[in-house]
A and B are shown apart, each in its own frame.
Chain A
């Protein structure tokens, strides 16, 4: 298992599966950290990217747009994206902006 920790974001990678732990506030800064980590994992051959929102209190529109970029990158690399432990308020936001069409909510 490989563990990395950014400023607010951390990742645990096992084989072809990587779990990225989003911080408490998904904004431009933390979104870019997630994006960076996800690109690294995809380049390393990851096929399942799980973004864990268990600690996430608020997501803003900038953060969501960055997540869209991650989904696109994953798709281009043949990888699956899962959002896990998303609270229902954040699910509501994702639904409003159409993210839930492109990703599995677990």
Chain B
């Protein structure tokens, strides 16, 4: 299927502007081609994760990029009031989209033709079954409402039986909660489509759809940090709102990768023609969005739909206020019901819908507020202060804005600490009963045996060592805060984990490992080791762990007195270096994932005077550090020199600078060389050099020496990205 970046058909964004879902797009397109493991696929989405736009993007790609599969996209709307109405609209959409696709005319979709017009527009290949459908419906032969609904929903199967190759996507199924006979619609959908012999997708809120249908499922959560950053860049360009690297990260973190909220923020900034280039400006627009702006309207609309009655909504707000002030964030279901003033049936329906929209989390006997949803908590807090406490609006907005500005660097600090965390939870999971030399985990031993040795030598020695200890076979691991909430005051969740398992020596011997990363500038002292051992032993005592092992990790290891403390308490203490080696030894890198991602370096060199050699020597140093072989390093250097020469020769650059980034991970180095000025392709088109024989040699060398070379035209210049793999893929 060819890539396209043209005008959208039903999607809200151009394909090139839709970021962060590359693997999901690939999977859905494969599914559309009938290459999934089954016909049915459930798309379970977190609220506002962008799943609807994802499906619309799939629709556009199928509409434009191929002729064989008829894509159909249908979403339950807020304006649908009954199952029958939604069913009829489904049939209409199905027919319109089929006709539009067959005619290759997207305008038909937007024109909403009547049924009679659809018959006229139908291509001969589909004429029989479309005409039959239109005829049956017009004659009203099927009078029973239930049968009529089933007839509407069966229309794709009728098409399939007549040789039409369809791919149906039905979205926003959680909206059926608000429809009269919505349950019947869902049930009929399941019963009908289970017999379909074409691929289809049912999509909706994950908590609503999970477990309702016997189809394979695909989870869509909010954008990961890196993808949210890419989206922020796209939105900045689309709305013409300047951002910088710091605010980009803040927007990604604070809005938790929520594409809709990110759109709201940039749209608001565009309306005021103001940048989002400081934490203060971001928080100002965020506060406006939460207190009366688009984020407020979004949550208001959910509450108004679920609980239209003002008084009942106020009761609910009061409940939120009580639970949030209490600090536990949760209360028993009976407490919620008693104070909601709702009859039991209505209460259950309301809580079920609030749970589906992830406004609360419904447990078996308790209801919990979603404290980790920053925007939701800020919205609730605002409404509580304004509506329940009666505080003046200016006071609330002013105080909350100050609090947001103060919170922003703390939020980012937490993210930086999280991202630099080792991944103890994942590492413990990788233990798997493996045997290691004690020096890999005991800092005292490591210092005696390996201090100053290089990694390869250490790993070889550890493999060859005779003395081994067995790591436990872990069956369950979670962050310590999940076992003992109070520890969260001492640690970020990601920096401590508890693992339950069995000692390798005996499956009857249960053992618990309690691990934590601690901060220390130099080797951690005895006092520090005592302090943290006390805290983790308290976790063990509170959780009733009989047999446990404490494991502390300090960046630079432990001083001799700390080693003595740890040994006295039968605990392990490791340095960060030991943990990195352990990760390598246990092949745990795939589990640890993003924590050990790319190392990135950036330099800017002025053009001219052989400055490409500065770049070459820099990349040489970087590549050596990351164990690239000598031959590859020379190839990289030469290719980089050519790229720099290209940038300097043709660009007539206004700032005479070459911007370079080097990103190295375990597999490759990716080098980006960017410059402002006349773009490379434009230069090649306009300038005629007398040295015709040499034109293109630089590019030829780059492509010959590197594994992948991409040249992109930016708005105001050129960007070349070159990749060299450490080992040939």
Contact = CB atoms under 8 A, between A and B. Distances in A.
B641 A58 contact: yes
A61 B693 contact: no
A97 B612 CA distance: 21
Contacts of B613: 25, 58
Interface stretch (B223-231, B454-462, B695-703): B695-703
A58 B697 contact: no
Contacts, number: 47
A29 B642 CA distance: 15
A88 B328 CA distance: 69
A97 B701 CA distance: 8
Contact of B638 (A58, A65, A68): A58
A58 B640 CA distance: 11
Given A25-B610, A59-B638, A65 B693 contact: yes
A95 to B, nearest CB: 9
Query: SS class of chain A's interface: helix, strand, loop or mixed?
Result: helix
A61 B645 contact: yes
Interface in A54-71: 58-62, 64-65, 68
Contacts of A97: 697, 700-701
B697 A65 contact: yes
A100 B641 CA distance: 22
B645 A68 contact: no
A33 to B, nearest CB: 14
Given A58-B638, A89-B638, A97-B701, A65 B645 contact: no
Interface string A80-95: 0000000011001100
B641 A60 contact: yes
A89 B701 CA distance: 12
B691 interface: yes
Nearest to B698: A61
Interface in A1-60: 25, 27, 29, 58-60
Give the size category of B's interface with A. 20 to 34
A96 interface: yes
A64 B635 contact: no
Q: Name the residue among A25, A61, A96 with the largest chain B CB count within 10 angstroms.
A: A61
Contacts of B691: 65
Nearest to A87: B634
Contacts of A58: 613, 616, 634, 637-638, 641
B637 A65 contact: no
Contacts of A62: 645, 694
Interface string B674-715: 000000000000000001011001101100110000000000
Nearest to B697: A61
B694 A93 contact: no
Nearest to A97: B697
Q: Name the residue among A25, A58, A93, A97 with the largest chain B CB count within 10 angstroms.
A: A58
A60 B700 CA distance: 12
A93 B701 contact: yes
Nearest to A89: B634
A67 B509 CA distance: 75
A60 B694 contact: no
15 contacts: A25-B613, A58-B634, A58-B637, A60-B638, A61-B642, A61-B645, A65-B693, A65-B694, A65-B697, A68-B693, A89-B638, A92-B635, A92-B705, A96-B701, A96-B704
Interface of A: 25, 27, 29, 58-62, 64-65, 68, 88-89, 92-93, 96-97
